[in-house]
Amino acid sequence: MPFTRRTFLAIATAFTATPTFGNTGYTAWLAGFQKRAARSGISQKTLSTAFAKASFLPKVVASDSKQAEVAKSLQQYLSSAASPQRVSGGRKALKRYKSLLGNIERKYGVEKEVVVAIWGMESAYGGFRGSASVFATLSTLAYQGRRRELFEAELLAALKILQSGQASAAQMKGSYAGAMGHTQFMPSTYLRHAQDFDKNGRANIWSDDPTDALASTAALLKAEGWKKGQPWALEVRLPDGFNPALTGRIYPRKAREWMKLGLRAANGNSLPNHGNGAVILPAGPEGPAFMIYKNFHVLKKYNYADSYVIGVGHLSDTLAGHGKIRSGFPKNPWGMTNAERRTLQQRLNARGFAAGNPDGVIGEKGRAAIRAYEQSKGLALTGTPSKALLNSLK
């Protein structure tokens, strides 16, 4: 879960949320859930410990239904991801935990700046780890959220953690979405990847000491296929007249093939060979072009949004001393105003081409929707937003 303004508000309101006792629908649901949990091997003792103080939290549902974030341009998002405050916090963290981060990098093969960037994005370096009981939040979301099955599975995972003795019910706090600790692990992620790096017998991602949480983050990235030394992305320079239809994650090519098409690194050098790469234009053809690699997709296991991955990547590059983005950002990506881009997304959605949340940011999903629309009309596949396309959808 990314550390967003929404998460921050959710965490902030967690302090003031009061449990609602006597919600009969919830109580009945919980009784049924406890039977299902018992059939999955959760003991009565674990269940009574978990739910002794946990109960329906109406504000959790309010927070869950307010998913649409205030639309930010990529440029605004990046200045917040790598704000002076977050960069200086990251530099301090790299200094303070130098030896720990070095050990983690050696063991898991994940660069320390990447681990620290995720830590900074997820909890502002441990400053906002969440203070709501995960049993309260997850049971509320499983009872009444938008993704009830997912949250019921997470609640069951949380009970397994408690039953394993890795943490007490009181320790198991998190955000209003049930994400826990320094790097905001969901319980199922904890079960798969949590590490007891300091070897004291428990994988403690909740404590003030971030040791286990940071190692767990590196372990997750390693398990998902992180390649040490491969950048998450490289800024590239497109030749004049380059056809934006060749871009997008579905069109990977080797460095030498991209070079034949006229691409260079942003500084004008040859493209280094990091394996197959695809070019993305997150702010349209006038904005920065990034060559993305496998590691880009690995970071998506943390959070699927392109902007999140670019945010983490940009912050980690900045912490490593090479975070400058050379290209400027256009005021109107794809030559369209924000309102026009939103309308385009709405019109595609209305015709059954899933273009995603109409937020004005036309990413991979929006471009795939455009390609699908073009295909349905027998047009050349460009996947490229334009005013002409917008008008044709009237």
Q: Which residues bind Ca ion (CB under 5 A)?
A: 196, 198, 200, 202, 204, 212
CB of 138 to Ca ion, least distance (A): 23
What is the distance between the alpha carbons of residues 285 and 56, in angstroms, rounded to a whole number?
48
CB of 217 to Ca ion, least distance (A): 14
- Report the residue number, 204 or 303, with the smaller CB distance to Ca ion: 204
How would you list the strands of the sheet with 264-265, edge to edge? 264-265, 233-237, 289-292, 278-280
What is the distance between the alpha carbons of residues 100 and 157, in angstroms, rounded to a whole number?
28
What is the distance between the alpha carbons of residues 53 and 133, in angstroms, rounded to a whole number?
8
- Report the residue number, 55 or 211, with the smaller CB distance to Ca ion: 211
CB of 199 to Ca ion, least distance (A): 7
Please give the structure tokens belonging to residue 158.
């949380």
- How long, in residues, is the chain? 394
Please report the DSSP string for 66-115 in residue order.
--PPPP--HHHHHHHHT-HHHHHHHHHHHHHTHHHHHHHHHHH---HHHH
CB of 123 to Ca ion, least distance (A): 18
Question: Which amino acid is present at 185?
Answer: F
Chain position whose Cβ is nearest to Ca ion: 196
Tally: H helices and E strands in the chain:
18, 6
Which SS3 state, helix, strand or coil, does residue 65 take? helix
- Report the residue number, 212 or 340, with the smaller CB distance to Ca ion: 212
- Report the residue number, 4 or 204, with the smaller CB distance to Ca ion: 204
What is the distance between the alpha carbons of residues 243 and 342, in angstroms, rounded to a whole number?
23
- Report the residue number, 33 or 190, with the smaller CB distance to Ca ion: 190
CB of 206 to Ca ion, least distance (A): 11
CB of 130 to Ca ion, least distance (A): 19
- Report the residue number, 132 or 203, with the smaller CB distance to Ca ion: 203
